Amino acid sequence: MSNDLQLFDILIFAMVAGFLFLRLRRVLGKRTGHEQPPGRVAEDETQTRDVVPLHPEKPVSNEQPDTDSESELAPGIGDLKKADPDFQPEEFLAGVETAFEMIVEAFSRGDIQVLQSLLDQPTLRGFEAEIERRGEAHEEVDSSLISIDTCQIVEAKVNGSSVSVTVNIVSKQIHVVRDADTSPAVEGDASNVATINDLWTFSRDVRSNDPNWRLVETRLGR
């Protein structure tokens, strides 16, 4: 009987995971019909990738208005729409919210497989290093995303066929670091809901057959 229940639980989790990935691909990975033939695009080697742990170390409370009109007026949106005429800020931001939740939760539980599908390689290496550090320190992270209060495009850039969009994400989270051996909290408080201001940058190659946006940079907002 217990084996049947375990199998049932596995099937339920698989269905939920499949739904999330399909939803994310439908929005962040939407084919526009304007993709160009695949080609090698030189990466801007001067771009810095400031990957930071998703820790609420600097809580902020100055939330920004969440309006689609402000996203439409963000610097570089006009150039982005020329490179990708079917780009729709509202649909993109819906996908960003889904990706944000999946990445925060996957990072918390150390799920590299999920992160691999959503991050570029340099950013993934930064997340992997932090997950490895936690393991060596015998730490476990318990993070809960309570809400996303702001999800707004602040900047878009076009560099050849590579396009990137930076999004301001203000969320409420509970973050607790526990000793993996003894369980008591060594950082954070399960009763404390912190407001976190993040700036995440997503990028894709409009000439690629792969329509997916990937996270290429994370940093704390001001």
Tens-place pLDDT, residues 152-186 = 999 999 999 999 999 999 999 998 888 877 777 77
Phi, psi of 197 (to 5 degrees): -110, 110
Residue 167: what pLDDT? 97
- Averaged confidence pLDDT in the chain: 76
Contacts of 217 (CB under 8 A, 6+ apart): 48, 49, 50, 51, 123, 166, 200, 201
Q: What are the structure tokens assigned to 147, written together?
A: 């809400």
Give per-residue pLDDT as tens, 61-107: 344 444 455 677 789 999 999 999 989 999 999 999 999 999 999 99
Cα dihedral 99, 167, 91, 119, rounded to 10, equals: -30
Phi/psi of residue 146, nearest 5 degrees: -80, -45
**Averaged over 144-149, what is the pLDDT?**
95
The two three-digit tokens of residue 100, written as one number: 């944000």
- Is 1 a residue whose pLDDT tops 60? no
* DSSP β-bridge partners for residue 162: 159, 205
Question: In this predicted structure, what is the pLDDT of residue 175?
Answer: 87
CA–CA gap between residue 75 and residue 78 (Å, rounded): 8
Per-residue confidence (pLDDT) for residue 46, from 0 to 100: 35
- Three-state DSSP state, 74: coil
Answer whether CATH 3.10.450.240 is correct for domain 2-30+49-220. yes
Greater confidence, 151 or 140?
A: 151
Q: State residue 43 phi and psi, 5-degree precision.
A: -85, 140
End-to-end CA distance of the chain: 53
pTM of the model: 0.69
How far apart, in whole angstroms, are the C-alpha atoms of residue 211 and residue 15? 23
Longest dimension (CA), the chain: 59
In angstroms, what is the C-alpha Rg of the chain? 19
Amino acid 158 reads V
The pLDDT score that the predictor gives to residue 4 is 52
Closest CA to 105 of 146, 139, 138: 146
Q: Considering only CA atoms, which of 218, 220, 208 is closest in space to residue 43?
A: 208
104-144 tens-digit pLDDT: 999 999 999 999 999 999 999 999 999 999 899 888 888 89
